[in-house]
Amino acid sequence: MDKKITHTLLLVDDEENILNSLKRILRNDGYRIFTATNAKEGLNILKQEPVSLVISDQRMPNMTGSEFLALARETAPDAVRIMLTGYADINAAMDAINQGSVYRFITKPWDDNDLLVTIRYALMQYELVLENRRLTQLTQRQNAELKDLNQGLEKRVEERTEKIRKMNRKLKNSFFVTIRVFTGLLGLFDPDLVAHSKRVAALSREIARRYGNLENPEYEAIELASLLHDIGLMSVPNNLLKKRKNQKTDSGRKLYQPFGGDRQWQIATQDQMTASERKLYQQHPVVGQMSLAGIENLDQVSVLVRAHHEHFDGSGYPDGLKDEEIPLGARIISVADTYDDLVYRCKMLEVDALATIKKKSWTAFDPETVIHLVDVLQQEAAAKKKENMITLQELKPGMVLSRDIETYSGRLLVAKDTEIKENYIAKLLSYNEIDPIVDRIYVYKSKEQRA
Q: What pLDDT, in 10s, does the model give residues 78-88?
A: 889 998 887 65
How many angstroms separate the CA atoms of 161 and 149, rounded?
11
Tell me which of 440 and 283 has the higher pLDDT.
283
What's the whole-number mean pLDDT along residues 410-419? 81
Inform me whether the pLDDT recorded for 211 exceeds 60.
yes
Q: What's the pLDDT at 365?
A: 96
In a domain, 148, yes or no: no
Say if strands 256-259 and 412-414 run parallel, antiparallel, or are unpaired.
Answer: unpaired
Q: What is the pLDDT of residue 194?
A: 81
Same domain, 38 and 17: yes
Q: With CA atoms as reference, report the closest residue to 256 among 245, 246, 269.
A: 269
Q: How confident is the model at residue 207 (pLDDT cuts 50, 70, 90)?
A: very high
Per-residue pLDDT, 429: 85
Supply the DSSP symbol for 394.
G
Return the H-helix or E-strand segment holding 105. Answer: strand 104-107
Residue 220 pLDDT greater than 60, yes or no = yes
What is the pLDDT, as a whole number, of residue 426? 87
Q: Which of the residue ranges 43-52, 55-64, 91-100, 247-256 would you say has the lowest mean pLDDT? A: 247-256
Cβ proximity of 415 and 424 under 8 Å:
no
| Same-domain status, 360 and 405 | no
Three-state secondary structure call for residue 418:
coil
Provide the mean pLDDT of the chain. 80
According to DSSP, the residues that pair with 49 across neighbouring strands are none
Q: Are residues 244 and 374 in the same domain?
A: yes
Q: Are residues 446 and 346 in the same domain?
A: no
Looking at the domain assignment, is residue 177 inside a domain? no
Give the pLDDT mean for 191-197: 83
Angle at 117 between CA 68 and CA 5, to 5 degrees: 75
Residue 83, domain CATH: 3.40.50.2300
User: pLDDT confidence of 163, banded at 50, 70, 90?
Assistant: low
What is the percent of the chain with per-residue pLDDT over 90, rounded to a whole number? 27
Which amino acid is present at 261?
A: G
Regarding whether 266 and 212 lie in a shared domain, the answer is yes
Q: Count Cβ atoms within 10 A of the Cβ of residue 443 and give its class: 0-12 exposed, 13-18 middle, 19 or more buried.
A: buried
**CATH code for the domain of 434:** 3.90.105.10
Main-chain dihedrals φ then ψ at residue 294, nearest 5 degrees: -85, 0
pLDDT, residue 360, reads: 93
- Same domain flag for 378 and 393: no
Q: Which residues of 251-287 are buried (b: 16+ CB within 10 A; e: fewer)?
A: ebeebbeeeeeeebbbbbbbeebeeebbbbbbbbbbb
User: For the chain, how many residues are written?
Assistant: 451
Query: What pLDDT, on the 0 to 100 scale, is given for residue 178?
Result: 67
184 found inside a domain: no
Please indicate, yes or no, whether residues 271 and 365 belong to a single structural domain of this protein. Answer: yes
**Helix (H/G/I), strand (E/B), else coil: 296:** coil
pLDDT band at 252 (very low <50, low <70, confident <90, very high): very low
Query: Do 414 and 369 sit in the same domain of this protein?
Result: no
Contact between 287 and 274 (Cβ < 8 Å): no
Please say which residue of 75, 110, 145 terminates a domain. Answer: 110
User: How many CA atoms within 13 Å lie on the side-chain side of 147?
Assistant: 5
What is the rounded CA–CA span in Å between residue 122 and residue 126? 6
138, part of any domain: no
Q: How confident is the model at residue 40 (pLDDT cuts 50, 70, 90)?
A: very high
Share of the chain above pLDDT 70, in %: 78
Q: So what's the pLDDT on residue 204? A: 93
* Distance, CA of 89 to CA of 107 (rounded, Å): 9
Q: How many CB atoms lie within 10 A of CB 14?
A: 15
Judge whether residue 317 has pLDDT over 80: yes
Calpha distance 42→72 (Å, rounded): 8
Residue 400 belongs to what domain range? Answer: 387-450
DSSP state at residue 298: -
pLDDT above 90 for 369: yes
Give Cα separations from 290 to 95, 294, 368 (angstroms): 13, 7, 29
- Give tens-digit pLDDT for 236-246: 887 777 776 66
pLDDT of 223 higher than 60: yes
Q: How many CB atoms lie within 10 A of CB 134?
A: 12
Report pLDDT digits (tens) over 270-307. 456 778 888 888 899 998 898 888 777 788 889 999 99
Q: What is the pLDDT of residues 226-235, one digit of tens each?
A: 988 998 888 8
Whether residues 425 and 325 fall in one domain: no
Q: What is the number of helices (H) and of strands (E) in the chain?
A: 16, 11
The pLDDT value given to residue 114:
87
**List of residues 6+ apart from 259 with CB closer than 8 A:** 265, 266, 268, 270, 271
222 shares a domain with 274: yes
Establish if 53 belongs to a structural domain. Answer: yes
Q: Which of 154, 153, 173 is CA-nearest to residue 165?
A: 173
Residue 254 has pLDDT above 50, yes or no: no
Work out the pLDDT band at 172, boundaries 50, 70, 90.
low
Residue 402: predicted pLDDT: 85
Q: Given a cut of 50, is residue 95 above it in pLDDT?
A: yes
DSSP state of 323: G
Query: 353, 382, 411 — which closes off a domain?
Result: 382
Q: Residue 260: is its pLDDT beyond 50?
A: no
In a domain, 174, yes or no: no
Number of domains in the chain: 3
Report how far residue 203's alpha carbon sits from residue 439's, in angstroms, rounded to the nearest whole number: 10
pLDDT of residue 149: 58
CB atoms within 10 A of CB 380: 16
Distance, in Å, from the CA atom of 254 to the CA atom of 113, rounded to the nearest integer, reads: 36
pLDDT the model gives residue 331: 97
| CATH code: domain of residue 358 | 1.10.3210.10
Gap between the Cα atoms of 206 and 131, Å rounded: 33
DSSP 17-53: HHHHHHHHHHGGGT-EEEEESSHHHHHHHHHHS--SE
> Could you read off the pLDDT of 401-412 as tens digits, one per residue?
888 887 765 577
pLDDT exceeds cutoff 60 at 184: yes
- pTM for the full predicted model: 0.54
> Is 409 in the same domain as 348?
no
Q: Is the per-residue pLDDT at 438 higher than 50? A: yes
What are the DSSP calls for 226-277, one per residue? HHSTTGGGGGS-HHHHHHHHT---GGGGGGEEEETTTTEEEEGGGGGS-HHH
Residue 72 and residue 54: Cα distance in Å, rounded?
A: 8
Q: Do 102 and 28 sit in the same domain of this protein?
A: yes
Question: Which of 356, 382, 408 marks a domain boundary?
Answer: 382
List Cβ neighbours of 12 (8 Å cut-off, separation of 6 or more): 35, 36, 37, 38, 39, 41, 42, 54, 55, 56, 57, 60, 65, 68
